[in-house]
Amino acid sequence: MQDDGTYVTRDLYRVSGSTSSSEGERRRQSTNSSALPGDEHSNTNSLRPRGTIGTNSGGETQVFHFKRHNATSSRSLSGLPLTIGDQGEDVLDLQQRLLQLGYDPLEDPPGYYGNATSRSVRAFQEARKLRVDGVCGPQTWQSLVEAGYRLGDRLLYRRTPMLRGDDIAELQRRLGSLGFDAGRIDGIFGDRTANALAEFQKNVGLPADAIFGRETYNELIRLQLRKEHNEKEIVRTVKDFELLHQPLSSLNGYPVAISEEGGLGALVAATRRRLQTEGANVITLSHPDSSELARRANLANVSVLIGLRLDPDNQICRTAFYSGYQYESTPGRHLAELVQKSLVSVFNFIEATTIGMCVPLLRETSMPAIICELGPAALVVQQPARIADVLVHALNLWVTSTWS
C-alpha cells in the first residue's frame, strides 16, 4: 500500500543537502500566490460540489457529502482488502476517491460496499490496467491515491521510499518530450527522473538540485507551450525502438531473470536449465511479493525478466507486458507476443491473450519484463520441460531478431 503518511507537506519542504540557493530553499521563502501548491488541492474553489445527489436502493433521494481528499493525508486503510458487504469509514473513503476520479458509486449508500462500488472499482482497475476483480486491495488503493495527484500539486524530489503519482508520470512525459531521459513513464520518482530533472534545470539556467518546485514547474510549462506532446518523440520511446534494432547473435552471456511468486519451482528450474544450455547468465527469484521480485531483479542488473504465474484452475495462457500512463514498453510487448504465440502453437488453451498491465512486477522493473500466467496446474506440473523449451525458443527469437 502507498505510504500516504510520508508524503511531503507544506511544512516539510526541507530536503537534505539543499542549500539556500536551491529551489527548495527559495520556495520556502516565497510568498508569491502563484507558488506551486504544497498539498494535493489547495484551490478549493475548483473542486466538485460538496454535496452530490444520489438515490438509495429504496429510491429515496440522499445527499452524498464528501470532501476533496488530500493525497498527502496521513490516513491509511487498515481494513484492506475491501469487497462487497463491507461498510464503514474505509469504504466511505474509497467511495469519495472514486467519485472524485469520475467513477460513480452513488447507487450504494455512503460507507457501504455494494454492487455500484464494486462496478466503480472494476472500471477504475480496468482503466489503470490492474487486475480486474472489483475488490479494493493494496494495489488498487495505492493506485487510487496516486491518481489524485496532478502536476503542480506538490514538491517532487528523490527520496526513500520513492514518491509515486500521476503527477510524476506527467513530469516524466514532459521531460521526455523535451529530450531528457527520465526512464520509462511509470509514475515513480527514481534516479533517472531525478537526473533528467537536474539536466533540464541546468539547461534552463536553474540550480540543478533535482527538486521540482515552483520555478522548475513554470519553466517546464513555458517550454511545453512551444512544443506539443508527441508520443514518438519521447526519448524513452525512441530508446525502446533502438533496443529493438540491436539484435544479438545468441543468448550466450545474456543476463536473464526468471521469477515466480510460489508454486512454480519446477518450471523455474526447468527454464533455468534450458537457458543455461544456451549460455545465458540466469538468476532465479522466488518471493510472494512482486515488488520484492522487481527490487531483486533491478539489483541483479539483468537485461530481461520473465515472471511466471500459476492459474491453478483455468486452462489459460495470459502474457502481460508493461503499459501505463499512455506509455507501453515496446520491447516488452514484442517479447510477450512472441511467448504467447509460441505457447499457443504448442498447447491448447481455452483462453489466450496478450495484454498491457501496470502491476508492480512490470511497473517497478527497470528492464523489459513480462508475466506469463499459465494454467491449469496439471499442465504446468506434468510438462515443465516442454514449457521451458517454448519459453527459451521465444526469448532466443526476441534477442536475435530485428523488430520494426
Answer yes or no: is pLDDT of 198 > 90: yes
Question: Which residue from 295, 305, 302, 284 is spatially nearest to 370, judged by alpha carbons?
Answer: 305
Amino acid letter at 175? L
Q: How far is residue 364's CA from residue 362's CA, in Å, rounded to a whole number? A: 6
Does residue 92 share a domain with residue 115? yes
Does residue 162 share a domain with residue 111? no
Question: Which residue from 46, 71, 229, 98 is spatially nearest to 156, judged by alpha carbons?
Answer: 71
Q: What is the mean pLDDT of residues 356-380?
A: 95
Contacts of 21 (CB under 8 A, 6+ apart): 207
Q: Are 68 and 47 in contact (CB under 8 A)?
A: yes
- What's the distance, CA 380 to chain centroid? 29
Q: How far is residue 350's CA from residue 117's CA, in Å, rounded to a whole number? A: 30
Does residue 372 share a domain with residue 249? yes
Query: In the listed set 205, 239, 273, which residue is the last one of a domain according to the structure?
Result: 239
pLDDT for the residue numbered 223: 87
pLDDT for the residue numbered 43: 36
Report the alpha-carbon angle 140-143-144, nearest 5: 85
Does residue 21 share a domain with residue 164? yes
| pLDDT tens digit sequence for 200-221 | 999 999 999 999 999 999 999 9
| pLDDT tens digit sequence for 293-346 | 999 999 999 999 999 999 999 999 999 999 999 889 999 999 999 999 999 999
Does residue 106 share a domain with residue 16? no
Does residue 395 share a domain with residue 287? yes
- Cis bond leading into 368, ω under 30°? no
Contacts of 386 (CB under 8 A, 6+ apart): 346
| pLDDT tens digit sequence for 18-55 | 333 444 444 333 333 333 333 333 333 322 233 333 44
Its domain, for residue 125, covers: 44-147
Which range has the worst mean pLDDT, 229-233, 251-255, 376-380, 392-396? Answer: 229-233
Total domains in the chain come to 3
Q: What is the mean pLDDT of residues 141-158?
A: 95
Set of cell numbers at residue 93: 473513503
Mean pLDDT of the chain: 81
Long-range contacts of 14-17, Cβ-Cβ distance < 8 Å, separation of 24 or more: 15/157, 15/209, 15/211
Q: How far is residue 209's CA from residue 15's CA, in Å, rounded to a whole number? A: 10
Beta bridge partners of 319: 354, 372
DSSP three-state, residue 256: strand
Report the alpha-carbon angle 342-343-346, nearest 5: 95
Query: In the listed set 239, 257, 278, which residue is the last one of a domain according to the structure?
Result: 239
Does residue 153 share a domain with residue 95? no
Q: What is the mean pLDDT of residues 77-95?
A: 90
pLDDT for the residue numbered 68: 43
Report the alpha-carbon angle 266-268-273, nearest 5: 95
Q: Are 307 and 361 in contact (CB under 8 A)?
A: yes
pLDDT for the residue numbered 187: 97
Question: Which residue from 154, 164, 143, 188 is spatially nearest to 39, judged by alpha carbons?
Answer: 154
- Cis bond leading into 161, ω under 30°? yes
Q: How far is residue 319's CA from residue 6's CA, in Å, rounded to a whole number? A: 35
Does residue 161 share a domain with residue 106? no
Does residue 229 share a domain with residue 338? no
pLDDT for the residue numbered 226: 63
Q: How far is residue 317's CA from residue 339's CA, in Å, rounded to a whole number? A: 10
Q: How far is residue 7's CA from residue 360's CA, in Å, rounded to a whole number? A: 20
pLDDT for the residue numbered 27: 38
Report the alpha-carbon angle 29-30-36, nearest 5: 125
Question: Which residue from 284, 283, 304, 285 is spatially nearest to 366, judged by alpha carbons?
Answer: 304
Does residue 276 share a domain with residue 231? no
pLDDT for the residue numbered 224: 77
Best-predicted range by mean pLDDT (44-53, 64-73, 163-172, 173-182): 163-172
Q: How far is residue 209's CA from residue 215's CA, in Å, rounded to a whole number? A: 12
pTM of the predicted model, to two decimals? 0.77
Question: Which residue from 252, 330, 329, 262 is spatially nearest to 293, judged by alpha carbons?
Answer: 262
pLDDT-based confidence at 243, cuts 50/70/90?
low
Residues in the chain: 404
- What is the CATH number for 79? 1.10.101.10
The number of beta carbons lying within 10 Å of the beta carbon of residue 277 is: 9
Beta bridge partners of 304: 256
Which range has the worst mean pLDDT, 189-198, 235-244, 268-277? Answer: 235-244
Query: In the listed set 120, 147, 174, which residue is the last one of a domain according to the structure?
Result: 147
| pLDDT tens digit sequence for 100-141 | 999 999 899 999 999 999 999 999 999 999 999 999 999 999
CA distances from 130 to 41, 123, 146, 186 (A): 26, 10, 13, 14
Percent of the chain with pLDDT over 70: 75
Does residue 159 share a domain with residue 13? yes
Does residue 153 share a domain with residue 142? no
Beta bridge partners of 51: 65
